[in-house]
Amino acid sequence: MAANNADQVVFDKVAEINASKESCNIRVKVVMLWKPTYINNPNMVPSLDMILIDQEGRAVREISNFAMASNENEYRLVPHKHKINFYKTTRVCVSTDFVDTVDPYHFNSFPDLLARNFDTRVAFDFLVELVSTDLMRVIVEYGREKRLMNLVAQDLSGTRIAVALWGSFAMKLNTYISQHNNETAPVIILLRLAKLKIWGGQPQVGNCLFGSRLHINDDMPQILDLNALDTHVESSSRTSQLNSDTVVANLEDYYLRFQIKKH
Protein backbone atom coordinates (compact mmCIF):
# COMPACT_ATOMS: atom_id res chain seq x y z
CA MET A 1 0.00 0.00 0.00
CA ALA A 2 2.78 2.41 0.86
CA ALA A 3 6.11 3.06 -0.79
CA ASN A 4 9.35 2.74 1.12
CA ASN A 5 9.69 6.52 1.32
CA ALA A 6 6.46 7.59 2.98
CA ASP A 7 7.31 11.31 2.59
CA GLN A 8 6.83 11.02 -1.17
CA VAL A 9 3.44 9.32 -0.96
CA VAL A 10 0.06 11.05 -0.90
CA PHE A 11 -2.23 8.92 1.25
CA ASP A 12 -5.93 8.48 0.58
CA LYS A 13 -8.45 8.74 3.40
CA VAL A 14 -10.40 5.55 3.98
CA ALA A 15 -13.64 7.58 3.85
CA GLU A 16 -12.77 8.63 0.29
CA ILE A 17 -12.20 5.12 -1.06
CA ASN A 18 -14.84 4.23 -3.63
CA ALA A 19 -15.42 1.90 -6.56
CA SER A 20 -14.07 4.44 -9.06
CA LYS A 21 -10.54 4.18 -7.62
CA GLU A 22 -8.45 1.51 -9.28
CA SER A 23 -5.73 1.79 -6.61
CA CYS A 24 -4.97 3.80 -3.51
CA ASN A 25 -2.28 4.51 -0.92
CA ILE A 26 -3.36 4.28 2.71
CA ARG A 27 -1.66 4.50 6.09
CA VAL A 28 -3.66 2.35 8.52
CA LYS A 29 -3.50 0.32 11.70
CA VAL A 30 -4.41 -3.39 11.77
CA VAL A 31 -6.98 -3.77 14.57
CA MET A 32 -8.08 -7.33 13.74
CA LEU A 33 -6.57 -10.22 11.82
CA TRP A 34 -8.06 -13.66 11.16
CA LYS A 35 -8.13 -16.57 8.71
CA PRO A 36 -11.63 -17.56 7.54
CA THR A 37 -12.26 -21.11 6.40
CA TYR A 38 -14.88 -22.86 4.31
CA ILE A 39 -17.74 -24.49 6.25
CA ASN A 40 -17.42 -27.72 4.28
CA ASN A 41 -13.61 -27.67 4.40
CA PRO A 42 -12.31 -26.11 7.65
CA ASN A 43 -8.71 -26.94 6.71
CA MET A 44 -8.78 -24.69 3.65
CA VAL A 45 -8.05 -20.98 4.18
CA PRO A 46 -9.16 -18.87 1.19
CA SER A 47 -7.87 -15.54 2.46
CA LEU A 48 -6.22 -13.57 5.24
CA ASP A 49 -8.68 -10.93 6.39
CA MET A 50 -8.07 -7.76 8.38
CA ILE A 51 -9.90 -4.80 9.83
CA LEU A 52 -7.93 -1.63 9.12
CA ILE A 53 -8.46 1.80 10.67
CA ASP A 54 -6.95 5.09 9.55
CA GLN A 55 -5.95 8.11 11.63
CA GLU A 56 -9.46 9.57 11.35
CA GLY A 57 -10.99 6.47 12.90
CA ARG A 58 -12.61 5.16 9.71
CA ALA A 59 -12.41 1.41 9.27
CA VAL A 60 -12.44 -0.84 6.24
CA ARG A 61 -12.16 -4.58 5.69
CA GLU A 62 -9.19 -5.84 3.70
CA ILE A 63 -9.03 -9.24 2.08
CA SER A 64 -5.68 -10.66 1.02
CA ASN A 65 -7.56 -13.08 -1.12
CA PHE A 66 -7.01 -16.23 -3.08
CA ALA A 67 -10.71 -16.32 -3.99
CA MET A 68 -13.10 -13.36 -4.20
CA ALA A 69 -16.08 -13.06 -1.89
CA SER A 70 -19.40 -14.17 -3.33
CA ASN A 71 -21.71 -12.56 -0.77
CA GLU A 72 -21.39 -8.78 -0.61
CA ASN A 73 -23.46 -8.34 2.55
CA GLU A 74 -21.39 -10.88 4.48
CA TYR A 75 -18.36 -8.63 4.04
CA ARG A 76 -19.94 -5.35 5.08
CA LEU A 77 -18.69 -5.61 8.63
CA VAL A 78 -17.48 -2.09 9.37
CA PRO A 79 -18.51 1.57 8.82
CA HIS A 80 -17.44 1.59 5.17
CA LYS A 81 -19.35 0.15 2.24
CA HIS A 82 -16.31 -1.04 0.31
CA LYS A 83 -13.64 -3.63 0.88
CA ILE A 84 -10.11 -3.49 -0.48
CA ASN A 85 -7.86 -6.27 -1.71
CA PHE A 86 -4.14 -6.91 -1.65
CA TYR A 87 -2.67 -8.15 -4.92
CA LYS A 88 0.74 -9.36 -6.03
CA THR A 89 1.73 -5.82 -7.00
CA THR A 90 0.68 -4.32 -3.65
CA ARG A 91 3.57 -2.96 -1.61
CA VAL A 92 3.39 -2.98 2.20
CA CYS A 93 5.80 -1.50 4.73
CA VAL A 94 5.70 -0.65 8.44
CA SER A 95 4.66 2.92 9.23
CA THR A 96 6.50 4.43 12.19
CA ASP A 97 4.55 7.71 12.27
CA PHE A 98 0.96 6.48 12.59
CA VAL A 99 -0.85 8.70 15.11
CA ASP A 100 -3.39 6.60 17.02
CA THR A 101 -5.62 9.30 18.53
CA VAL A 102 -9.11 8.15 17.57
CA ASP A 103 -11.25 5.73 19.55
CA PRO A 104 -11.70 2.76 17.19
CA TYR A 105 -14.91 1.61 18.88
CA HIS A 106 -18.29 2.30 17.29
CA PHE A 107 -21.13 1.83 19.78
CA ASN A 108 -24.85 2.16 19.04
CA SER A 109 -27.33 3.11 21.74
CA PHE A 110 -29.96 0.59 22.79
CA PRO A 111 -32.82 2.83 21.50
CA ASP A 112 -31.13 2.88 18.07
CA LEU A 113 -30.63 -0.89 18.17
CA LEU A 114 -34.24 -1.59 19.15
CA ALA A 115 -35.59 0.87 16.57
CA ARG A 116 -33.05 -0.26 13.95
CA ASN A 117 -32.14 3.37 13.53
CA PHE A 118 -28.92 2.68 11.60
CA ASP A 119 -27.60 0.71 8.65
CA THR A 120 -28.07 -2.84 9.94
CA ARG A 121 -25.68 -4.18 7.28
CA VAL A 122 -22.83 -2.50 9.13
CA ALA A 123 -21.29 -4.04 12.24
CA PHE A 124 -20.92 -2.20 15.54
CA ASP A 125 -19.36 -2.69 18.97
CA PHE A 126 -21.57 -3.84 21.83
CA LEU A 127 -20.78 -3.19 25.52
CA VAL A 128 -23.34 -4.51 28.02
CA GLU A 129 -24.03 -6.16 31.36
CA LEU A 130 -25.59 -9.62 31.24
CA VAL A 131 -28.97 -10.08 32.89
CA SER A 132 -29.71 -13.74 32.18
CA THR A 133 -28.70 -16.66 29.98
CA ASP A 134 -30.43 -19.73 28.67
CA LEU A 135 -28.78 -23.14 28.66
CA MET A 136 -26.18 -23.48 25.95
CA ARG A 137 -27.84 -25.49 23.19
CA VAL A 138 -26.01 -28.00 21.00
CA ILE A 139 -27.96 -28.17 17.74
CA VAL A 140 -27.18 -31.00 15.31
CA GLU A 141 -27.67 -30.16 11.64
CA TYR A 142 -26.58 -32.51 8.85
CA GLY A 143 -24.33 -34.33 11.29
CA ARG A 144 -22.57 -31.13 12.42
CA GLU A 145 -22.90 -29.62 15.90
CA LYS A 146 -23.71 -25.94 16.37
CA ARG A 147 -23.55 -24.31 19.78
CA LEU A 148 -25.90 -21.49 20.66
CA MET A 149 -26.34 -19.42 23.82
CA ASN A 150 -29.24 -16.98 24.16
CA LEU A 151 -28.80 -14.07 26.57
CA VAL A 152 -30.48 -10.94 27.79
CA ALA A 153 -28.31 -7.84 28.19
CA GLN A 154 -28.96 -4.36 29.53
CA ASP A 155 -27.46 -0.89 29.29
CA LEU A 156 -26.98 1.68 32.06
CA SER A 157 -30.64 2.76 31.93
CA GLY A 158 -31.87 -0.81 32.35
CA THR A 159 -33.08 -1.13 28.76
CA ARG A 160 -32.75 -4.74 27.67
CA ILE A 161 -32.10 -6.53 24.40
CA ALA A 162 -31.77 -10.16 23.30
CA VAL A 163 -28.38 -11.57 22.32
CA ALA A 164 -27.45 -14.81 20.56
CA LEU A 165 -23.88 -16.10 20.60
CA TRP A 166 -22.90 -18.91 18.28
CA GLY A 167 -20.01 -21.36 18.12
CA SER A 168 -16.84 -20.53 20.02
CA PHE A 169 -18.44 -17.37 21.43
CA ALA A 170 -21.14 -19.43 23.17
CA MET A 171 -18.52 -21.87 24.46
CA LYS A 172 -16.31 -19.05 25.77
CA LEU A 173 -19.14 -17.43 27.73
CA ASN A 174 -20.43 -20.77 28.99
CA THR A 175 -16.93 -21.66 30.25
CA TYR A 176 -16.53 -18.28 31.96
CA ILE A 177 -19.86 -18.60 33.79
CA SER A 178 -19.10 -22.15 34.94
CA GLN A 179 -15.73 -21.03 36.31
CA HIS A 180 -17.18 -18.01 38.17
CA ASN A 181 -20.56 -19.37 39.30
CA ASN A 182 -19.99 -18.48 42.96
CA GLU A 183 -19.11 -14.83 42.37
CA THR A 184 -21.44 -11.89 42.79
CA ALA A 185 -19.74 -9.44 40.42
CA PRO A 186 -21.61 -8.35 37.27
CA VAL A 187 -20.68 -9.97 33.99
CA ILE A 188 -19.68 -7.30 31.47
CA ILE A 189 -19.09 -8.29 27.87
CA LEU A 190 -17.68 -6.34 24.95
CA LEU A 191 -18.56 -7.87 21.59
CA ARG A 192 -16.52 -6.26 18.84
CA LEU A 193 -18.07 -6.29 15.36
CA ALA A 194 -21.55 -7.40 16.36
CA LYS A 195 -24.48 -7.61 13.96
CA LEU A 196 -28.18 -6.92 14.45
CA LYS A 197 -30.74 -9.36 13.07
CA ILE A 198 -34.45 -9.95 13.50
CA TRP A 199 -35.46 -13.23 15.16
CA GLY A 200 -39.01 -14.04 16.15
CA GLY A 201 -40.00 -10.53 15.07
CA GLN A 202 -37.64 -8.89 17.56
CA PRO A 203 -34.17 -7.35 17.18
CA GLN A 204 -31.35 -9.58 18.38
CA VAL A 205 -27.62 -8.87 18.62
CA GLY A 206 -25.20 -11.60 17.56
CA ASN A 207 -21.66 -12.27 16.49
CA CYS A 208 -20.53 -12.17 12.87
CA LEU A 209 -19.42 -15.30 11.08
CA PHE A 210 -15.88 -13.90 10.91
CA GLY A 211 -14.12 -10.98 12.58
CA SER A 212 -16.06 -10.64 15.86
CA ARG A 213 -14.17 -10.67 19.18
CA LEU A 214 -15.67 -11.37 22.62
CA HIS A 215 -14.21 -9.89 25.82
CA ILE A 216 -15.68 -10.97 29.18
CA ASN A 217 -14.77 -8.88 32.25
CA ASP A 218 -11.37 -8.25 30.68
CA ASP A 219 -8.92 -5.73 32.06
CA MET A 220 -9.61 -3.05 29.44
CA PRO A 221 -10.82 0.57 29.91
CA GLN A 222 -14.26 0.15 28.32
CA ILE A 223 -15.21 -2.79 30.56
CA LEU A 224 -13.60 -1.36 33.70
CA ASP A 225 -15.39 1.98 33.25
CA LEU A 226 -18.79 0.31 32.88
CA ASN A 227 -18.12 -1.99 35.82
CA ALA A 228 -17.28 0.99 38.02
CA LEU A 229 -20.59 2.75 37.31
CA ASP A 230 -23.63 2.26 39.52
CA THR A 231 -26.53 1.57 37.17
CA HIS A 232 -29.13 2.15 39.92
CA VAL A 233 -31.14 -0.57 38.20
CA GLU A 234 -32.31 -3.79 39.78
CA SER A 235 -30.18 -6.44 38.09
CA SER A 236 -30.05 -10.21 38.16
CA SER A 237 -26.80 -10.27 36.17
CA ARG A 238 -24.70 -12.13 38.69
CA THR A 239 -22.89 -15.32 37.85
CA SER A 240 -24.81 -17.27 40.48
CA GLN A 241 -27.97 -16.64 38.41
CA LEU A 242 -26.51 -17.38 34.99
CA ASN A 243 -26.74 -20.82 33.43
CA SER A 244 -23.67 -22.79 32.46
CA ASP A 245 -25.34 -26.11 31.62
CA THR A 246 -25.61 -27.56 28.13
CA VAL A 247 -28.54 -29.26 26.46
CA VAL A 248 -28.62 -31.15 23.15
CA ALA A 249 -31.56 -30.11 21.01
CA ASN A 250 -32.91 -30.90 17.59
CA LEU A 251 -32.68 -28.16 15.01
CA GLU A 252 -36.44 -28.29 14.48
CA ASP A 253 -37.04 -27.69 18.20
CA TYR A 254 -35.12 -24.44 18.04
CA TYR A 255 -36.82 -23.00 14.97
CA LEU A 256 -40.28 -24.09 16.09
CA ARG A 257 -39.98 -21.80 19.13
CA PHE A 258 -41.19 -19.00 16.86
CA GLN A 259 -44.20 -18.73 14.60
CA ILE A 260 -43.45 -19.11 10.89
CA LYS A 261 -45.19 -16.43 8.82
CA LYS A 262 -45.80 -16.62 5.09
CA HIS A 263 -45.98 -13.49 2.98
pLDDT at position 199 is 87
Q: CATH homologous superfamily for 110-255? A: Nucleic acid-binding proteins (2.40.50.140)
What mean pLDDT, rounded, does the chain reach?
75
Q: Alpha-carbon torsion 194, 197, 202, 206, what sign? A: negative
Cβ contact 102:79 at 8 Å: no
Return the pLDDT at 172.
94
The angle subtended at Cα 220 by Cα 31 and Cα 99, nearest 5°, is: 45
With a threshold of 0.85, does the pTM exceed it? no
- Model pLDDT, residue 26: 85
pLDDT by residue (tens digit) across 164-205? 999 999 999 999 998 887 777 889 999 988 999 998 889 999
Instruction: With a cut of 50, list the residues of the chain below it in pLDDT.
Output: 1-4, 65-79, 232-233, 235-237, 239-240, 256, 258-263
Q: Phi-psi bin for 219: left (phi > 0), alpha (psi -120 to 50), beta?
A: beta
Asked if 222 and 190 count as a contact pair (C-beta separation under 8 A), the reply is: yes
Per-domain boundaries in the chain: 6-85, 110-255
Task: Determine the Cα–Cα distance for residues 245 and 137; give it in Å rounded to an integer.
Answer: 9
The whole-number pLDDT of residue 82 equals 65
